[in-house]
Amino acid sequence: MTEIRPIRPEEATAAKQMIYRVAHEIFNDPRLLEESIAYHESRAELKDMDDIQRNYFENGGIFLIMLDDDQPICTGAIRKLENNVCELKRLWLLTPYHGQGLGYRMLQELFSIAREKGYKRIRLETDAIHQSRALDFYRRIGFYEIPRYTDRTDEVAMEMQL
The rounded distance, in Å, linking the Cα atoms of 81 and 60 is 9
Tell me how many domains the chain contains.
Answer: 1
Domain containing residue 59: 2-119
Answer whether residue 138 is part of any domain: no
4 near 106, Cβ under 8 Å?
Answer: yes
CATH number at residue 74: 3.40.630.30
Answer whether residue 158 is part of any domain: no
Answer whether residue 148 is part of any domain: no
Answer whether residue 8 is part of any domain: yes
Q: Which amino acid is at 136?
A: D
Answer whether residue 105 is part of any domain: yes
pTM of the model: 0.94
Answer whether residue 131 is part of any domain: no
Pick from 107, 112, 102, 97: nearest CA to 142:
107
Question: End-to-end distance of the chain based on CA atoms, in angstroms?
Answer: 29
- Phi then psi dihedrals of residue 93, to 5 deg: -135, 130
Answer whether residue 106 is part of any domain: yes
pLDDT digits (tens), the chain, 162 positions:
899 999 999 999 999 999 999 999 988 899 999 999 999 999 998 999 999 999 999 999 999 999 999 999 999 999 999 999 999 999 999 999 999 999 999 999 999 999 999 999 999 999 887 888 899 999 999 999 999 988 877 789 999 999
Taking the CB of residue 130, how many other CB atoms lie within 10 A of it?
14
Answer whether residue 146 is part of any domain: no
Cβ neighbours for 150, distance < 8 A, ≥ 6 positions apart: 125, 157
